[in-house]
Amino acid sequence: MAGTDRGDLTRTAILALLGTVGPLSRSEIARELDLSPATVTQLTKELIGHGMLEELDLKPSRGGRPAQRLGLVGSAGRALGVKVTADHLVLVDVRLDGEVLGSWERPHDPAAPDALEHLADAVESVVREISGVPPLLGVGVGVPGSVDDQAVGTVNAPTLGWQAMPVGERLRRRLNLPVLVENDVNALAAAERLYGRGRTHSDFLVLTIGRGVGAAIVADGRVYRGARGGAGEFGHLPVDPEGPTCGCGARGCLEAFVGSAGLLATARARHAQAQGGGRPGADPAQADARDPLGAVAALGRAAAGGDVVAREVFAEAGAILGRATAGLINVVDPEVVVVLGEGTADWPLWRTGFEPALRAQLYPGRRDISVEVESWDDTSWAQGAAALVLATPFDSAGAAGEQGRLVRARLIGAPS
Ligand SMILES: [Zn+2]
């Protein structure tokens, strides 16, 4: 029935408005969405009845009587976020307002022949564990690779050894829940839109440093995905044709210098030079390959403890990243840059090289752009994946397609 469809769209628009700008009065909602006061009164009454909106404090107003503000109910829904890495899975259970209810870590071998079945087993066991109230709206999956379409979820991820992996299709069949799959950095950008910079900025960049280097480009409030879902592969920006071979097969990519393996290779070479030979004892390259993030953390502790060579390694990597970031800013013209990822733990060390290189290379008029580093923990990637689902009811652009409709249906409690 057309009237019902229009009512659903308007209810979604009201949720989207409150989900993105925060609590508002009924008259503010009517003004923002160009609706009649009677329509807003009727629809918000229904949403309060469904337990999705609540009446908050009275907002003082000049003149007339104070207006009652309406806000989203954080416990109206939850989503499970899953981050897939080269050796493990992280799962988090997140409420609509971003509060983390629980987290899990599971070993995972993406190269195993039954990797998808194992992934589905791990997700299914957690879904069983958390079933109940508030309702689970769906599962978001973040992968270090490109994804054709969030609502389809076919993954190409060289670092996982995955080519045309039907992640979304397999999980949907097993779980009978909406499943959205997205590049992990794009998923972080979705979380920024919902809970972070996206509330006040419609054009921004998300950069990640850690095992790899990534970027997400948010333009006009939407994540730019490119023709095949592969936009934002900032790590494969060419830096030096004579540089080391990158995981992608090309030479001298940004990631080959400043990803964790690149940082460690530089550190080994510099230490060998400084000492006139290799380090005694076990081959550090092998230990590094097993746990590159742990090895970078050790390098960071050495630098913080005054190791001059280690400090230089971070500063040089910072300078390479700063120049490349300036190029990206000059092309995209964002309002702000947000830096995330495991590597941000050592940001003060990166920053000494990053800042001067960035500012020197920025186009005039952009030299004062703000670069903001946010707090990071082991569940941050998976929280981004959950945000794919939690952002869907507020996404008027419909990036989640048919899966988004199913998420909205579960939120509103309508038969799907
Ligand atoms: Zn590359």
Contacts of 237-245 with CB under 8 Å at 24 or more apart are: 237/324, 237/327, 237/328, 239/320, 239/324
Report how far ligand 1's centroid is from the alpha carbon of 212 (Å): 10
Higher-confidence residue: 403 or 92? 92
Q: Are 392 and 402 in contact (CB under 8 A)?
A: no
CA of 184 to the centre of ligand 1 (A): 17
- Give the Å distance between the CA of 293 and the centre of ligand 1: 19
Asked if 268 and 284 touch (Cβ cutoff 8 Å), the reply is yes
Distance 327 CA to ligand 1 centre (A): 17
What pTM, to 2 d.p., does this model score? 0.86
* Pair 254, 213: CB distance under 8 Å: yes
Model pLDDT for residues 379-398, shown as the tens digit of each residue: 999 999 999 998 887 776 67
Is residue 281 over pLDDT 60?
A: no
Host H or E run for residue 268: helix 260-275
Q: Are 152 and 169 in contact (CB under 8 A)?
A: yes
Q: Which tens digits make up the pLDDT trace of 201-240? A: 889 999 999 999 999 999 988 899 999 889 999 999 999 9
Interval 74-98 mean pLDDT: 92
Q: How far, in Å, from the CA of 250 to the mean position of ligand 1?
A: 5
Across 210-351, the runs of DSSP E, i.e. the strands, are 213-219, 222-223, 336-340
Q: Which pLDDT score, from 0 to 100, does residue 413 have?
A: 67
Per-residue pLDDT, 285: 64
Task: Tell me what the pLDDT averaged over the chain comes to.
Answer: 89
More confident of the two residues 262 and 12: 262
CATH class of 76-194+379-412: alpha beta
User: Does 365 have pLDDT greater than 80?
Assistant: yes
Kindly report which listed range (68-82, 250-264, 319-333) carries the lowest average pLDDT score. Answer: 68-82
- Domain range 5-72, CATH class: mainly alpha
Mean pLDDT of 395-408: 78
Say yes or no: do domains 5-72 and 76-194+379-412 share a fold.
no
Residue 126 clears pLDDT 50, i.e. is over it: yes
What pLDDT sits at residue 283?
Answer: 54
Helix H or strand E segment including 349:
helix 347-361
Q: In the numeric block, which tokens belong to residue 212?
A: 């790899």
**Rounded distance between C-alpha atoms, residue 206 and residue 210, angstroms:** 13
Q: Is the pLDDT of residue 375 over 90?
A: no
CATH 3.30.420.40 is the classification of domain 197-373 = yes
Reply yes or no on whether the pLDDT at 52 is more than 70.
yes
Structure tokens at 375: 């707090």
Q: Binning pLDDT at 50, 70 and 90, where does residue 338 land?
A: very high
Give 264 or 57, the one with higher predicted confidence: 264
Share of the chain above pLDDT 70, in %: 91
Question: Residue 233 Cα, ligand 1 centroid: separation in angstroms?
Answer: 9
In the structure, ligand 1 is a single-atom ion and the residues with CB under 5 Å from it are 236, 246, 248, 250, 253
- Of these ranges, 8-12, 171-175, 389-393, the one predicted with the greatest mean pLDDT is 171-175
pLDDT given for residue 6 in this prediction: 54
The structural domains of the chain, with segments of one domain joined by +, span 5-72, 76-194+379-412, 197-373
Q: Which of 227, 165, 222, 194 is nearest to 389 (CA)?
A: 194
CA of 253 to the centre of ligand 1 (A): 5
Q: What is the pLDDT of residue 277?
A: 52
Q: How far is the CA of 123 from the centre of ligand 1 (A)?
A: 31
Question: 114 C-alpha vs ligand 1 centroid, how far in Å?
Answer: 28
